[in-house]
Amino acid sequence: MTTNRVALVTGGTRGIGLGIARRLAADGFSLVMTGRRSADEVEQALAEVRDQQGNRDQQARYSRADVAERNERQRLLKEIEAEFGRLDVLVNNAGIAPNPRADVLEATEASFDELVATNLKGPYFLTQAVANWMIRQQQHRQERRAIINVSSVSATVASVNRGDYCISKAGVAMATKLWAARLTEYGIGVYEVRPGVIETDMTRGAKAKYDAMMEGDALLERRWGTPEDVGAAVAVLARGDLPYAPGLVVVVDGGLTLPRL
């Protein structure tokens, strides 16, 4: 069993997930990252994470897994237990956009089903499995553990051309409250990080729209957010630097959703 703390970051090889993985690696965690791409396709991302690890005992590995699939979630956790013997932090980050984006009057059930399975059902039941494992671990070691859900300002801000995405993120926000209410007694911190407009592959298709927002007064910080911004917030929670705050929501959106007159 490794003595390093181990973090699982779903969707950890690109965009926000990679920013989170890099930051946790720099903070001394061993990392397991998941995604749906082949191992060859994520070699560069894995190298970037390993470059951040300063302790030779730290490890970083990739497991191809679709969190929407029950069997793949089970296999993933068995692999982590066999290799590391522990799991200290779960970051539920994996998510997809609607395919295609469509007005709520025209959106399809197929897109809804796929998106909700990945963005909501998958992390909900992965959390269930991880939480039970973490509770068993607490019987032997009293270290602090954390489950961190990466949601979106879309949990509260309506976008009528991607209703399924908004619904999934609103569900993640409620799931955070539910798991915090259930798991705090076991010393497991459950939190939500809620990013705004972050520069990733997912937002590239709407670049012109968001660039215009940066030029106006929609944001207090008139710039794109970065995966590193989100990674910094996740790292604070993963390290346990904010105790006595069950279910805390950290909004990383440059002031986008701050009410103003």
What CATH number corresponds to the domain at position 39? 3.40.50.720
**Position 260 in a domain:** no
Our CA dihedral for 246, 249, 148, 235, rounded to 10 degrees, sits at: -100
**Position 106 in a domain:** yes
**Position 196 in a domain:** yes
**Position 91 in a domain:** yes
**Position 257 in a domain:** no
Name the domain count of the chain.
Answer: 1
**Position 37 in a domain:** yes
Residue of higher predicted confidence among 2 and 22: 22
124, 165, 191, 210: which one is catalytic? 165
pLDDT single digits (tens) 52-101: 998 888 999 999 999 999 999 999 999 999 999 999 999 999 999 999 99
Do 115 and 164 meet the contact criterion of CB atoms below 8 Å apart?
yes
Average pLDDT (221-242) is 97
- C-alpha distances out from residue 7 to 115, 141, 211, Å: 24, 16, 34
Which two tokens mark 157? 């801000």
Whole-number pLDDT of residue 138:
81
Average confidence score pLDDT of the chain: 95
* 124 catalytically annotated: no
Q: Tell whether omega for the bond before 100 is within 30 degrees of 0, i.e. cis.
A: yes
**pTM for the complete prediction?**
0.96
Q: Residue 229: which domain range? A: 6-252
CA 146 – CA 192 distance, rounded (Å): 11
**Position 89 in a domain:** yes
Do 227 and 16 meet the contact criterion of CB atoms below 8 Å apart?
yes
**Position 1 in a domain:** no
- C-alpha distances out from residue 56 to 30, 32, 59, Å: 10, 16, 8
